Homo-oligomer: A and B are copies of this chain.
Amino acid sequence: MAEQTVEVAVSTVIFGIQEHEGAAKLHLPLVRRVREPHLGSWALPGGPLRPEESLREAARRNLADTTGLDAAHLEQLYTFGAVDRGGPQRVVSIVYWALVRTEVAATTREDPHVAWFPAEELPPLAFDHEEIVGWAVKRLKNKLDYTHLSHALLPEEFTLGQLREVHEAILGRRLDPANFRRRTEASGTVRPTGAHQAGVRHRPPALYRSTAREELLT
């Protein structure tokens, strides 16, 4: 049997929170493919691993090239290497997932080949990228319960209402505001800054900061 080569690629599933139809929703940026296979299809940001960069550096490059943003969280998800993943060349893809902050996610530079989509309304994706996004969403949901990852999707200062909206956007369901407030305050993961949200006249909500911010830095 002739020896075939196996190529190594790094792809990154990038999550940010954006408004969609009046509500905060989990979004991710996709890249339109400009060559075969799957020419014209949407795909996860990624590409061949360069010989001089680590896996993590390649994931950071995906993120910077696609969004111009730094990650508030960056983590290896899984390596996908089935023999036939939908292209003529066998590619093993090491997949990372990243969280970026809301307030900067909206300022992504203009690029006709990049667009943000709600995670629940993705277009058909190239290769096995739909399966990969499914894994990443599942991992994010699972980690929500036992980490402070949701803070990485918010500005430095936020209201408990904003934090709840992030949880609702990831879980895809409404949470009881009073219960959420009680649980969050009891968790010790946030502390009030003493300031209140600007631009709200009647009972402006208190602003909080994450006490877990350091752990999130990557």
Contacts and interface: CB of A to CB of B under 8 A. Distances in A.
A54 interface: yes
Interface string A1-34: 1011110100000000000000000000000000
B76 A54 contact: no
A81 interface: yes
A36 interface: no
A110 interface: no
Chain B CB within 10 Å — which of A1, A8, A78 has the most?
A8
B83 A8 contact: no
Interface in A85-126: 90, 92, 94
Interface string A41-56: 0000000010111110
Interface in A137-173: none
A82 interface: yes
A197 interface: no
A92 B8 contact: yes
Given A6-B49, A8-B6, A82 B54 contact: yes
Contact of A49 (B51, B54, B78, B92): B92
A193 interface: no
Contact of A3 (B1, B51, B53, B79): B51
A79 B79 contact: yes
Contacts of A51: 1, 3-6, 83, 90
What DSSP secondary structure best describes chain A's contact surface? loop
Contacts of A8: 6, 8, 81, 92
A78 B76 contact: yes
A81 B6 contact: no
Contact of A53 (B49, B79, B83): B83
Nearest to A83: B54
A110 to B, nearest CB: 31
B94 A92 contact: yes
Given A6-B8, A8-B6, A8-B8, A81 B94 contact: yes
A79 B76 contact: yes
